């Protein structure tokens, strides 16, 4: 992985991905005691950054390989990102999802033209099922994070942050990134190391799912004890990847950990102050920034809001708890 691969992905994404804005709110700044800039990646196609990686991966394939189709194993944002990239490129996509995935996610994935193959969580080994389908049908597997062209696509978000922060007069800051398997984090870290070395990446993870924070401490890949148990569904990957972790270890500061309630509070703040819909996992970075109360007024912070695919009921819970109270 290197910056040239990210720049090449940016060239392929130009005109296809949204150049998402870097937003700030004077009233949010006032509440936080410093500038808080939010990279609104929830406004990306399909509601999360995952479209970048999906498009990058598919457009990096040789044409005859791509035409045979692609396959992804995901019940979440990666599914929609890959399905929509395939739809735009006119190639078949198969998405392997658990049969108990939310009906809306299955419906959305199908609406993007993908064939959804359901499996029973209790009985099937999903990665084997995916590999088997890929072999049978000649499909190319698009992994969610531990794949160079996927990382390169997510890294284009970092190129945009570098340019937008410079335009906003910010050259020294922490850039906090919600972290699951580390594709977005590693891509942004590589992009900023090359283009904006005064911007230093830190990860944000939910309490109990801080595999990357612990891996950064121990220096080797650590795993989470549990696979479920946080509302931050989009960033509960079991461990950082074999490709992503060395990049994160080389470029990122200590990992930050947030409680689910901090994420709900950040979602309410984004509603009130930024007019953005952010999903719980996507709000982890803003949550971490708002929890840092001991920072100097001249220390700006940049938070990536990585996605906005949240059900109405959970969003309402955030507003119920913090919608009148997050100043």
The residue ranges that bind its own copies (CB under 8 A) are: 15, 18-21, 23, 25-27, 30, 40, 42-43, 45-47, 84, 87, 107-108, 111-112, 167, 268, 271-272, 274-278, 308, 312-313, 315-316, 319-320, 323-324, 327
Query: How many Å apart are CA 295 and CA 66, to the nearest integer?
Result: 48
Quick one: 176 or 267, whose CB is closer to its own copies? 267
Half-sphere exposure of 237 (CA within 13 A, CB side): 27
- Give the shortest CB-269-to-its own copies separation in angstroms: 12
Query: How many Å apart are CA 134 and CA 302, to the nearest integer?
Result: 39
Quick one: 5 or 12, whose CB is closer to its own copies? 12
Of the candidates 18, 14, 238, the one whose C-alpha atom is nearest the C-alpha of residue 144 is 238
- Give the shortest CB-189-to-its own copies separation in angstroms: 25
Query: How many Å apart are CA 79 and CA 93, to the nearest integer?
Result: 10
Query: How many Å apart are CA 69 and CA 86, to the nearest integer?
Result: 8
Query: How many Å apart are CA 146 and CA 128, to the nearest integer?
Result: 17
Quick one: 14 or 250, whose CB is closer to its own copies? 14
Sequence-distant (≥ 6) Cβ neighbours of residue 85 within 8 angstroms: 51, 54, 55, 57, 58, 59
Query: How many Å apart are CA 185 and CA 179, to the nearest integer?
Result: 6
- Give the shortest CB-73-to-its own copies separation in angstroms: 22
Two structure tokens written together for 305: 């809001």
Quick one: 41 or 222, whose CB is closer to its own copies? 41
Quick one: 209 or 315, whose CB is closer to its own copies? 315
- Give the shortest CB-132-to-its own copies separation in angstroms: 30
- Give the shortest CB-42-to-its own copies separation in angstroms: 4
- Give the shortest CB-130-to-its own copies separation in angstroms: 24
Signed CA dihedral, 273, 276, 278, 284: sign only:
negative
At 303, give phi and psi (nearest 5°): -120, 130
- Give the shortest CB-116-to-its own copies separation in angstroms: 15
Burial letters 194-209, b for 16+ CB under 10 A, else e: bbbeebbbbbbbbebb
- Give the shortest CB-304-to-its own copies separation in angstroms: 14
Q: How many residues would you count in the chain?
A: 327
Q: Are strands 22-23 and 36-40 parallel, antiparallel or unpaired?
A: antiparallel
Task: Note whether 44 and 52 are within 8 A (CB).
Answer: yes
Quick one: 108 or 212, whose CB is closer to its own copies? 108
Query: How many Å apart are CA 262 and CA 267, to the nearest integer?
Result: 9
- Give the shortest CB-124-to-its own copies separation in angstroms: 28
Quick one: 209 or 271, whose CB is closer to its own copies? 271
Quick one: 30 or 137, whose CB is closer to its own copies? 30
Quick one: 132 or 327, whose CB is closer to its own copies? 327
């Amino acid at each position: 992985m290197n910056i040239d691969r990210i720049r090449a992905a940016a060239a392929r994404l130009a005109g296809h991905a949204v150049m998402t804005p870097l937003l700030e709110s004077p009233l949010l700044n006032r509440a936080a005691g410093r500038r808080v800039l939010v990279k609104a990646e929830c406004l990306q196609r399909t509601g999360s950054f995952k479209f970048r990686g999906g498009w990058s991966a598919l457009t990096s394939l040789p044409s005859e390989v791509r035409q045979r189709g692609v396959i992804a194993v995901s019940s979440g944002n990666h599914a929609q990102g890959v399905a929509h990239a395939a739809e735009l490129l006119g190639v078949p996509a198969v998405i392997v999802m658990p049969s108990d995935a939310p009906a809306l996610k299955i419906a959305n994935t199908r609406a993007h033209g993908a064939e959804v193959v359901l499996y029973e969580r209790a009985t099937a080994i999903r990665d084997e099922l995916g590999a088997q389908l890929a072999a049978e049908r000649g499909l190319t597997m698009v992994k969610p994070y531990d794949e160079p062209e996927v990382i390169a696509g997510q890294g284009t978000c970092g190129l945009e942050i570098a340019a937008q922060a410079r335009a906003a007069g910010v050259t020294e800051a922490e850039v906090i990134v919600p972290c699951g398997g580390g594709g977005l984090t590693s891509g942004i870290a590589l992009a900023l190391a090359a283009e904006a070395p005064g911007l230093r990446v830190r990860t944000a993870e939910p309490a109990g799912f801080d595999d990357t924070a612990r891996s950064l401490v121990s220096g080797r890949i650590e795993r989470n004890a549990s696979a479920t148990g946080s509302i931050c569904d989009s960033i509960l990957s079991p461990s950082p990847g074999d490709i992503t972790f060395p990049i994160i270890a080389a470029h990122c500061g200590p990992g930050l950990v947030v409680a689910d309630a901090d994420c709900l509070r950040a979602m309410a703040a984004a509603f009130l102050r930024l007019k953005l819909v952010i999903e719980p996992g996507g709000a982890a970075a803003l949550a971490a920034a708002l929890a840092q109360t001991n920072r100097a007024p001249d220390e700006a912070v940049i938070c990536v809001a990585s996605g906005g695919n949240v059900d109405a009921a959970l969003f309402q819970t955030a507003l119920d708890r913090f919608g009148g109270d997050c100043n």
